Structure 1
Amino acid sequence: MDFKMVCLDIDGTLLNSKHMISENTKKIIYKITEEKQIPIILVSARMPKGILFLQEELNIIQPIICYSGSLIQSNNTILLNNTISLSDVKPLYGIMKDLNIHVSLYRNNEWYVEEMDEWAQQESEITNIKPTIVKFADLFSIWAQKNSGPNKILCMSSSSNIKELNKKIQGYHFDKLNVYPSKPTYLEIMPVSATKTSAIEFLCKMFNISKSQVIAIGDNYNDMDMIKFAGLGIAMGNAPDEVKKCADDITFSNDDDGVAKALEKYII
């Protein structure tokens, strides 16, 4: 197959367990982007700030898919922007506070927290980004005037608390939301219209590429839709079994240059 686009998840896929891109992966990506002239799209639940520095490290100039598809940005121009309605945010926030769960709100290229607790500190160290500390009541008032809301809500707590929160949210039937645990201690909430697949479809139209010409590589549950969608969907060796089952192929783990080996196998 003549592949014309590669979509890469970041955490657990492009990055190893030390949150770094291996030198071999950089070399292979350089060959694909510079020699083969194939666009590599970084696809993540991260905000733009958490992706752009990795793009620079790889010397990639392409659109980025942020917040698992809620936002597509290219050279500071927003191409697609989906947000969560305040009518959903406010009751969600109440449920989260009752369970004593850390809440982070993301909008465009900003990350908001109410305090710099251990969860915010941990996320800051992983992403190299510092959040803006603000009272959410004030933020809600500002967003209400603009008739808008966040692109993403990130909830962080113990795995038992996250399970309880997920159960409560499902019980309330928020049908306009896409809710999933990205790891046992993280629950991510995005608009239901936002998926990695819907964002990739948007870019396929923009680049005039068919889905059969797309390679998608990921490691987690929120990657399953793009792995199934792509002409070639590849799961990382470190992915859960459920993710591996939906893939066309399984590569090595993120600590064993899985991305580089998959791209060498199918493109180079």
Structure 2
Amino acid sequence: MYKLIAIDIDDTLINDNREVTPATQQALEQAVAQGVVVTLATGRAYASAQAIARQTGLNVPIITYQGALVKNLLDEKVLYERYMPQDAAHKLFEYCIQKNLHLQTYIDDKLYAREENQKLIDYTTLNGTAYYVEPDFSKLVAQPTPKMLIIDEPDYLDQIAPEIREILGDGVHVTKSKPNFLEIMHHEGTKGHALKFLAGHFGCDLSQTIAIGDSWNDHEMLEAAGLGVAMANAIPALKDIADYVTLSNNEDGVKHVIDKFVLNAE
């Protein structure tokens, strides 16, 4: 019944040691062997996500930057791309200057920040991403970007998120991938939009898709998919909208979903 599975990476596909376990790897391979398209859907940059995708042997398009970029692994052809509106990018930059917020942007799949600080170091250590420091950040803001990201304390981000939405308007999508990461994309740069695109690309109905995630940035694709799955370690709000709650990322929760709904092993 299911022909396409979209899986978040952090705290979903990989465990707390940032590994895809052999058991989960085997389940992915078995699903692919049955003709199911298995893809990744992540907030990570393509450069970071493709390294994990290649490790797992996938050779299909993957969803990156929360859905703002869908790109082939095989020939790196861009299939779907949504850049942040220019005026919104400028407004966000000015807002972050006024509030003294740490802002990151991505140009040509490279991560840039105004200054090197602990927030930047911790983020890039977590994702295994190289970074570049550009003090003259305004010249970067003028260039197309699939995503901008603010790092701060979770409560403070919750406080300023409505302000940012109001300032930037309907042209953007604002979400959280982790409690201290506030991410801003084009309003069609969501995992839900990207999943719909990929379903059409592979000629399958959305009812034949599975989406698996753990954070609020996954809710659009869980709602779009035929089967929306939240991890046991997911935030409560995501579990509330999920069709099914699987085991945690440290208990091979992704394997459990594949076994139960694709391989019919249970």
Q: TM-score range by the shorter chain?
A: over 0.9
Please tell me whether the aligned partners of residues 96 and 165 of structure 1 are also in contact (alpha carbons under 8 angstroms): no
Report what 1:19 is aligned to. 18
Unaligned runs of 5+ in 1: 144-148
Q: Do the aligned residues in 2 keep the contact of 1:152 with 1:190 (CA within 8 Å)? A: yes
Query: What is the rounded CA distance, in whole Å, between the counterparts of 2:208 and 2:107 in structure 1?
Result: 32
1:57 corresponds to: 55
Q: Which residue of 1 aligns with 2:211?
A: 216
Cα RMSD, aligned residues only: 1.4
Query: 1:46 maps to which residue?
Result: 44
**Identity %, equivalent residues:** 27
Name the CA distance, whole Å, in 1 between partners of 2:166 and 2:191.
Answer: 25
Query: Which residue of the partner structure matches residue 188 of structure 2?
Result: 193
CA contact (8 A) 2:85 2:172 kept: no
Secondary structure of residue in 2 paired with 1:201: helix
Letter in 2 for 1:24: A
Q: Partners of 1:174 and 1:153 in 2: how far apart?
A: 15
Moved beyond 6 Å, runs of 4+: none
Q: Distance in 2 between matches of 1:107 and 1:222?
A: 21
TM value normalised by structure 1: 0.92
For residue 165 of structure 2, what is the aligned residue in structure 1?
170
How big is each residue's C-alpha offset from its partner over 1:141-172, in whole Å with a ceiling of 9 and x where there is no partner? 5x2xxxxx211011001224323331321342
Q: In 2, are the aligned partners of 1:69 and 1:197 still within 8 Å (CA)?
A: yes
Query: What is the CA deviation profile of residues 108-159 of structure 1, one whole-angstrom value per residue up to 9, with x for unaligned ones?
Result: 4221112221111111111111112222122235x2xxxxx21101100122
Aligned to 1:79: 79
Q: How many residues align?
A: 260
Looking at structure 2, the residues matched to 15 and 80 of structure 1 have their Cα atoms a distance apart, in angstroms, of 25
Aligned to 1:146: none
* Letter in structure 2 aligned against 1:137: S
Which residue matches 2:140? 139
How far, CA to CA, are the matches of 2:127 and 2:20 in structure 1? 14
Partner amino acid, structure 1, of 2:141 = F
In 1, distance between residues paired with 2:235 and 2:153?
20
Q: Secondary structure at the match of 1:90?
A: helix
The residue that corresponds to 1:246 in the other structure is 241
Instruction: Confirm or deny: 8 A CA contact 1:4 1:209 kept in the other structure.
Output: yes
SS of the counterpart of 2:242? coil
Which one-letter code corresponds to 2:96 in the other structure?
M
Alpha-carbon offset, residue 194 of structure 1:
1.6
State the one-letter code of the partner of 1:65: I
1:95–1:165 Cα contact (<8 Å) kept? no
> Contact 1:99–1:161 (CA<8 Å) still a contact in 2?
no
TM-score where L is the length of structure 2:
0.93
**Structure 1, 61-70 or 165-174: larger mean CA deviation:** 165-174
